[in-house]
Structure 1
Amino acid sequence: MIKSLAVYIVSFSVLFLIIHFSQDYIFSQVNSPVRFSLWDTNMFFAVASLMICVHFQFFSLIKSLETQLGFIYLPTLFIKGVLFYVAFKDSVFNIEVLNTTEELNILIPLLLFLVLEVFFVVKIISRMGFKY
């Protein structure tokens, strides 16, 4: 279990660093300003996805929750969206119109962290022996 948690932490940290420094490099080349903190939004996506994976690892140890893990995962995207709105309503959602660059710099990290999150959640659920 400790090995799994370490893999989650390292994976999300590496993905965070790749995304963030890629964005920094691209913006230094393009000179296109972003009106919110990319560090904060990327950190939110990384930590939220990491927390979901860690919680699922712990939930998988509870025998009574084994058959419910898939159903428990369903509302996490909605909850993550609500928490994102609450955390960034003054910085991101206060901007009347986001330009395409800003939209992509929210959407792409969201999707990349979501893919990694789903990968780990599927591994947890499939390790429990469920057939799809």
Structure 2
Amino acid sequence: MIKRILVFTLCILLLFAISLSVHSYFISQPIAFQLWQVYLYHAVAALIVYVSIEGVSRTLPNQAGYAYLALMLFKIGIFVFVFKDSVFENEALTRTERVALVVPLFLFLTAEAIGVAKLLNNQK
């Protein structure tokens, strides 16, 4: 369990560093929010979700999939709450800003889904 969590944490940290660097390099115009904060939120949330699913899969292995779905909804709700002032009060987000919000979401969601899928497949 600890080894899987450490490996997943290392993967998330590498994904965070590489994707934020590449994304920041390609942004040519200023955006209304701090890009590193969006990436940091998704990285921390992915770690929390993975560790939570590790715990749920040990105690209630049949309910781990439902817990993952509930945590996804909770994660998106917290994102909206945390970033409502800097992101969602702007009526017209530019295309660059919209892409800057969606890219980290899908990157970390994909990494998280792969990690959770491997975890759940190894449990069976």
Query: TM bucket by the smaller chain?
Result: over 0.9
CA–CA distance in structure 2, aligned partners of residues 61 and 122 of structure 1: 15
- Post-superposition Cα deviations, 1:20-49, rounded to whole Å, max 9, x if no partner, equal 11122112xxx3111101011110011101
Corresponding residue for residue 18 of structure 1? 18
Larger helix share, 1 or 2: 2
User: CA separation in 1, counterparts of 2:71 and 2:94?
Assistant: 27
Quote the RMSD (CA, aligned, Å). 1.0
Summarize the alignment of residues 92-107 of structure 1 with structure 2, pairs less than 5 Å apart.
Answer: 92-107=87-102
Deviation digits for residues 66-117 of structure 1 (CA, Å, limit 9, x no counterpart) = 1111111112222111100111111111111111111111101100100000
Task: Indicate the residue corresponding to 1:128 in structure 2.
Answer: 123
Unaligned runs of 5+ in 2: none
Equivalence for 2:63:
68
Aligned residues: 124
Pair member with larger Rg = 1
SS of equivalent to 2:91: coil
Match of 1:44 among 29, 37, 41: 41
- How far apart, CA to CA, are the structure 1 residues paired with 2:33 and 2:46? 21
Aligned residues with identical type, % of pairs:
35
Counterpart CA distance in 2 for 1:69 and 1:15 is 25
Q: Is the 8 A contact 2:57 2:63 kept in 1?
A: no
Measure the CA separation in 2 of the matches of 1:128 and 1:3.
15
Equivalents in 2 of 1:99, 1:68: separation in Å?
40
Runs of 4+, deviation exceeding 2 Å: none
Alignment gaps of 5+ in structure 1:
none
